[in-house]
A and B are shown apart, each in its own frame.
Chain A
Amino acid sequence: MRRIAFLAPLVLFLGLAGWFAAALFSGRDPRELPSALIDKPAPEFDLPSLAVGDLADGRLSSASLRGQVTVVNFFASWCAPCRVEHPVLLRMARQEKIRVIGIAYKDRPEDSRRFLAELGDPFLTTGIDRDGRTGIDFGLYGVPETYVIDKLGRIRKRIVGPVTPALLDRELLPLLRALERS
């Protein structure tokens, strides 16, 4: 017992070093935080909508999230990564037939309108979150940010930053299809 006890610090050190190395090389981004609202109902909101769209008379409310799998995308015309992300949203809505709702975060309605006219409008309806309060209710860090909401109106996934084509194919579409089947 005595004879191997002197090895204890070395073993402890190697264990810790191994653990730290695994965490360091795992490729996990420590800045990527899960939403505090995962599996909780999406916050209530009632926003004016950008155009008189398909949802109730010129407004977009959280009631419209129930019953169908929906993707909610926070964007702004002043946000450069939103431009990068936009073709992916268009593909999601047009080819993959996903219900995508936009929320224009702290953006002037005329600017949001111009942004969508220029790049194409993937959104069923776009809510106007002029003061960013709906953003805070969602726990938004910045734009773009995307939330997947299931049929019961619960948030199932949050993506901080632009949705890339790879992310859409590898993570988002499988999740959306599974949620649609359930």
Chain B
Amino acid sequence: MRLLFALFLLAAPAWAVQPDERLADPALEARARALSKELRCVVCHNESIDDSNATLARDIRIVLRERLAAGDSDGQAKAFLVARYGDFVLLRPPVRADTYLLWFGPFALLALGGAVAFAAQRRRTPAAPAPLTPEEQARLAALLREEPK
């Protein structure tokens, strides 16, 4: 049983990236892997091309490696794919004027909600009660003096 468990630990995860796609240069390959984790597989939508087994994902992984091998920077390689597939290929949308709402909207809503909650909380806290008038104090003293029967 223990041996079986140990064997499970040894099992390597199944990568979508095939050995024949890999670049000989480990530094370039590492950049390609990092980049392909950020690129969407356009046929499967919510998977990166690094995870996807789709043939189009494989083709794009190969194109990406070719671009890097040809001397493209990470940004240039990404731009190459964005020109063809649009911003949709980027799993992380770019921060631009037209995406501010997407990136900062939730924080703005949180701040707004916090402000409303704070204001409501402050309004609800009652003001400290006014001190007792002399008549009230005399009556309180009288009540306390009365012995229970």
Tell whether A and B belong to one assembly.
yes
Which residues of A pack against B, CB within 8 Å?
31, 33-37, 43, 106, 131-133, 136-142
Asked if B56 and A37 sit within 8 Å, CB to CB, the answer is: no
Query: How close is A106's CB to chain B, nearest CB, in angstroms?
Result: 8
Provide the main secondary structure of the chain B interface.
helix
Classify chain B's interface size.
10 to 19
Known pairs A137-B84, A139-B84, A140-B56; list 9 more (Cβ under 8 Å): A31-B45, A33-B86, A36-B84, A106-B55, A132-B55, A132-B59, A133-B63, A136-B63, A136-B84
In the bound assembly, the distance between CA atoms of A140 and B60 in angstroms comes to: 11
Query: How close is B36's CB to chain A, nearest CB, in angstroms?
Result: 14
Which residues of B pack against A, CB within 8 Å?
42-43, 45, 55-56, 59-60, 63, 82-88
Asked if A136 and B86 sit within 8 Å, CB to CB, the answer is: no
Asked if B59 and A136 sit within 8 Å, CB to CB, the answer is: yes
In the bound assembly, the distance between CA atoms of A141 and B122 in angstroms comes to: 56
Asked if A139 and B43 sit within 8 Å, CB to CB, the answer is: no
Instruction: Tell me the number of A-to-B contacts counted with CB atoms below 8 Å.
Output: 36
Closest B residue to A9 using CB positions:
B116
In the bound assembly, the distance between CA atoms of A137 and B84 in angstroms comes to: 6
In the bound assembly, the distance between CA atoms of A140 and B85 in angstroms comes to: 8
In the bound assembly, the distance between CA atoms of A136 and B57 in angstroms comes to: 11
Asked if A141 and B42 sit within 8 Å, CB to CB, the answer is: yes
Asked if B45 and A141 sit within 8 Å, CB to CB, the answer is: no
In the bound assembly, the distance between CA atoms of A34 and B55 in angstroms comes to: 22
In the bound assembly, the distance between CA atoms of A119 and B148 in angstroms comes to: 108
Contact with B86, one of A43, A106, A133, A139 (Cβ below 8 angstroms): A139
Query: How close is A135's CB to chain B, nearest CB, in angstroms?
Result: 8
In the bound assembly, the distance between CA atoms of A80 and B55 in angstroms comes to: 17
Per CB-CB distance, the 9 closest pairs between chain A and chain B, nearest first, are: A36-B86, A139-B84, A139-B85, A132-B59, A141-B42, A141-B43, A36-B85, A33-B88, A142-B43
What are some 11 contacts across the A-B interface (CB < 8 A)? A33-B88, A36-B82, A36-B84, A36-B85, A106-B55, A132-B56, A132-B59, A136-B59, A137-B84, A139-B86, A140-B56
In the bound assembly, the distance between CA atoms of A18 and B56 in angstroms comes to: 38
Closest B residue to A34 using CB positions:
B86
Asked if B84 and A37 sit within 8 Å, CB to CB, the answer is: yes
